[in-house]
């Protein structure tokens, strides 16, 4: 009786293993017969077969000290056909893997593609272009559909004016002269912090492109989600992304302007009246052209 039960248990186990083996073989056969989209889904890969090229090229106006290095690098690592001064999709995976090996911020690791190399590569295989360049570049290269008849949609990051100014001061190792004897002397110290601020954006861009804005604070959340519906995901993504720091940590306690409400007001007015970039952001944020408006 005991031997009979043992044989039955053995036959049950053998039968179970046989069923699993047949199922496994069938699944492998089915995999070969699946469409690319079905196979990708089953394997947990992004569906690359259904990607449709956007009917525009997206341009990111890299305003200094608005997180542009990070957004360019993250997008290149996350999406296909991202082209930028701070990163290209074609080698972003290996660049990020190399960045993981860098020890300590003093060693710094920053991917830069010089403008002449970008020009040599060309933009024919780009869905998203990020560039630290004078504003004329966009018109000369893409204005009025001259680039193979493909229109360009420009995206401009917007940041709080004073906070942005102080980040530029920090980058340039400059300080505001809060004890200046005149407003002009104080504003001279303000201008001394500008980091290519007057050359990256110009109102003339709106005459050639649809120019939209997005909130600096939402670029890694809402803006990235927005673009993820428009750009093709990479098959493989190097994670985690290693941020390339281009600025030293700020010490707000040593930024005198925060202790001077009178200078805060004057500076806000001065920046708005004299800097086209801040004028654009003041108009765009909260309007229908703000991508991150919720």
% the chain with pLDDT above 90: 69
In a domain, 91, yes or no: yes
**79 bridge partner residues:** 233
Give the pair of three-digit tokens for residue 106: 């003093």
With 70 as the cut, is the pLDDT of residue 20 above it? no
In a domain, 50, yes or no: no
Q: pLDDT band for position 250 (50/70/90)? A: confident
E-strand stretches of 62-191 = 82-84, 128-131, 152-158
In a domain, 146, yes or no: yes
In a domain, 17, yes or no: no
73: containing domain: 57-284
Q: pLDDT band for position 174 (50/70/90)? A: very high
| CATH code for the domain in which residue 84 is found | 3.40.50
Q: What is the pLDDT of residue 46?
A: 55
Averaged pLDDT for residues 111-116:
83
In a domain, 194, yes or no: yes
Dihedral sign, Cα of residue 228, residue 205, residue 165, residue 285: negative
Cis amide leading into 172 (omega within 30)? no
For helices 161-171 and 261-274, the axis angle rounded to 10 degrees is 90
Give the pair of three-digit tokens for residue 180: 């200046």
Give the chain's domain count.
Answer: 1
In a domain, 76, yes or no: yes
Averaged pLDDT for residues 129-146:
95
Mean pLDDT estimate for the chain: 85
Q: What is the pLDDT of residue 21?
A: 47
In a domain, 25, yes or no: no
Number of Cβ within 10 Å of residue 207's Cβ equals: 11
Lowest mean pLDDT among 106-110, 192-196, 225-229, 235-239: 106-110
In a domain, 109, yes or no: yes
Residues 6+ apart with CB under 8 A from 210: 151, 153, 154, 289
Q: What is the pLDDT of residue 24?
A: 41
């Amino acid at each position: 009786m005991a031997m009979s039960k043992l044989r039955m248990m053995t036959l049950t186990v053998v039968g179970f293993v046989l069923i699993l083996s047949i199922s496994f073989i069938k699944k492998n056969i089915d995999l070969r017969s699946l469409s690319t989209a079905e196979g990708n889904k089953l394997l947990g890969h992004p569906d690359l077969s259904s990607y449709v090229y956007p009917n525009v090229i997206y341009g990111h106006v890299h305003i200094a000290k608005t997180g542009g290095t990070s957004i360019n690098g993250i997008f290149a690592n996350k999406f296909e056909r991202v082209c930028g001064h701070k990163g290209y999709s074609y080698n972003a995976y290996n660049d990020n893997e190399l960045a993981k090996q860098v020890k300590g911020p003093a060693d710094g690791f920053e991917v830069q593609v010089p403008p002449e190399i970008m020009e040599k590569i060309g933009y024919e295989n780009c869905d998203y272009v990020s560039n630290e360049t004078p504003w004329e570049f966009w018109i000369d290269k893409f204005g009025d559909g001259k680039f193979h008849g493909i229109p360009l949609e420009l995206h401009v990051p917007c940041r709080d004016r004073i906070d942005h100014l102080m980040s530029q001061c920090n980058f340039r190792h400059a300080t505001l002269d809060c004890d200046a004897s005149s407003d002009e002397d104080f504003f001279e110290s303000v201008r001394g912090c500008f980091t290519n601020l007057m050359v990256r954006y110009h109102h003339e861009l709106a005459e050639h492109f649809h120019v939209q804005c997005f909130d600096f604070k939402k670029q890694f959340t809402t803006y990235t989600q927005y673009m993820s519906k428009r750009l093709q995901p990479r098959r493989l993504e190097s994670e985690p992304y290693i941020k390339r720091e281009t600025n030293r940590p700020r010490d707000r306690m040593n930024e005198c302007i925060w202790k001077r409400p009178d200078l805060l007001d004057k500076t806000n007015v001065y920046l708005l009246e004299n800097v086209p970039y801040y004028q654009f952001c003041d108009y765009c944020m909260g309007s229908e052209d703000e991508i991150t408006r919720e």
